[in-house]
């Protein structure tokens, strides 16, 4: 047959590409560049700038799962750039085109975006049940990148509905903004609130992270309630404590009397001995131990009486 000529039509081809990652400033991370890495794992809000070097290409299309965007063409006809802010995880495809058609094989990648998580907070609270004028509380807070604010938030429920005091408020607590896991502790004096018998306070701790993309997100602890007993409740409580303390004093006196007899008997028995044996030493140790326990019990009773007296005043 005669001779024929086959003309090869060039397909567009991707040679190399790079991605520059510009992280949100609040993360404090150093920006970086990656070469020929298509599958990316980045924090939410990262600005990604791609540079594509290709051959036989008239235009380049970056297609995301939710839409499409065309890369800008530079002065160099074979290089294209495209930039976006990563806000969600999705697949993306790079398509090259010339006047004859598209690239031969699909170029598919996955953009994995790590969202800024909500902070977490715990709260443990201890109440002054004697004078009802302070609260001690503490706990821990945690977040993936850091914090912007930590506060205790409270609301007063007065015994008298016509009370004109300010009912809501908050107190800022100190924290380390860049430390992702930390403990907090605070002793809260309630004197400024001028609580009266029958008042209640509901309170919780709230923490805000430092999310520079979506705005600071917050989390709250469980809600606690602190109630100041009414006068009748205080009187009933004091009466019960007085009876309980009286019983404890009687028991302590009985123990003291028994201990004195043991000491006297031991002293009389040891007077006739020139040398102590094992049993003697053991009995002395037991007597000293009982004496120490009794002293601790008496100190506890003394503190209890003092607390009762303060509460009565």
pLDDT band at 68 (very low <50, low <70, confident <90, very high): low
Indicate if the pLDDT at residue 209 is higher than 90. Answer: yes
Average pLDDT of the chain? 86
| pLDDT at res. 308 | 67
Res. 233: pLDDT tops 70: no
What sign does the dihedral 256-260-262-263 (CA atoms) show? Answer: positive
The lowest-confidence range among 31-40, 64-73, 258-267, 276-285 is 64-73
Token pair of 144 as six digits? 């993936």
How does residue 39 score in pLDDT terms, banded at 50, 70 and 90?
Answer: very high
Q: Would you place residue 110 in the very low, low, confident or very high pLDDT band (cuts 50, 70, 90)?
A: very high
The DSSP output letter for 198 is T
Q: Average pLDDT in the 3-11 region?
A: 93
202, 225 Cβ separation under 8 angstroms: yes
CA 178 to each of CA 144, 182, 200, 248, 288: distance values in angstroms, whole numbers, following the listed order:
10, 10, 35, 52, 54
pLDDT digits (tens, 9 = 90+) for 21-38: 999 999 999 999 999 999
Predicted local distance difference test score (pLDDT) of residue 69 = 65
3-state helix, strand, coil in the chain (%, to 5): 25, 40, 35
What pLDDT shows up at residue 264? Answer: 77
At 121 the pLDDT is: 96
Phi, psi of 286 (to 5 degrees): -65, -40
The confidence score (pLDDT) of residue 215 equals: 94
pLDDT band at 268 (very low <50, low <70, confident <90, very high): confident
Does this model's pTM top 0.85? My answer is no
- SS3 at position 241: helix
CA distance 111 to 90: 5
Q: What is the mean pLDDT of residues 249-271?
A: 79
- Pairwise pLDDT comparison (238 vs 110), residue with the higher score: 110
Q: Which of 178-182, 209-213, 231-235 has the lowest mean pLDDT?
A: 231-235
pLDDT confidence of 73, banded at 50, 70, 90? low
């Amino acid at each position: 047959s005669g001779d024929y000529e086959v003309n090869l039509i060039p397909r567009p081809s991707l040679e190399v590409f790079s991605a520059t990652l510009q992280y949100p400033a609040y993360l404090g991370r150093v920006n970086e560049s990656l070469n020929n890495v298509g599958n990316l794992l980045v924090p939410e809000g990262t600005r990604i700038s791609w540079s594509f070097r290709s051959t036989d290409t008239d235009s380049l299309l970056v297609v995301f799962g939710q839409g499409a965007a065309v890369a800008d063409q530079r002065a160099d006809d074979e290089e294209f750039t495209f930039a976006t802010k990563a806000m969600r995880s999705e697949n993306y495809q790079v398509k090259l085109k010339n006047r004859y058609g598209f690239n031969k094989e699909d170029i598919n990648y996955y953009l994995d975006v790590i969202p800024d998580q909500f902070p977490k907070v715990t709260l443990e609270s201890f109440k002054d049940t004697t004078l009802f004028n302070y609260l001690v509380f503490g706990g821990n807070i945690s977040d993936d990148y850091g914090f912007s604010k930590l506060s205790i938030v409270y609301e007063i429920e007065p015994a008298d509905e016509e009370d004109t005091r300010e009912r809501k408020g908050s107190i800022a607590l100190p924290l380390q903004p860049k430390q992702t896991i930390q403990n907090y502790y605070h002793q809260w004096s309630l004197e400024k609130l001028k609580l009266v018998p029958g008042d209640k306070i509901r309170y919780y701790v709230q923490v805000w992270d430092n999310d520079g993309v979506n705005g600071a997100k917050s989390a709250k602890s469980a809600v606690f309630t602190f109630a100041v007993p009414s006068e009748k409740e205080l009187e009933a409580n004091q009466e019960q404590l007085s009876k309980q303390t009286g019983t404890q004093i009687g028991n302590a006196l009985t123990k003291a009397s028994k201990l004195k007899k043991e000491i006297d008997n031991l002293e009389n028995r040891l007077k006739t001995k020139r040398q102590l044996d094992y049993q003697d030493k053991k009995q002395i140790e037991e007597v000293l131990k009982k004496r120490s326990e009794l002293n601790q019990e008496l100190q506890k009773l003394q503190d209890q009486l003092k607390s009762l007296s303060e509460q009565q005043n």
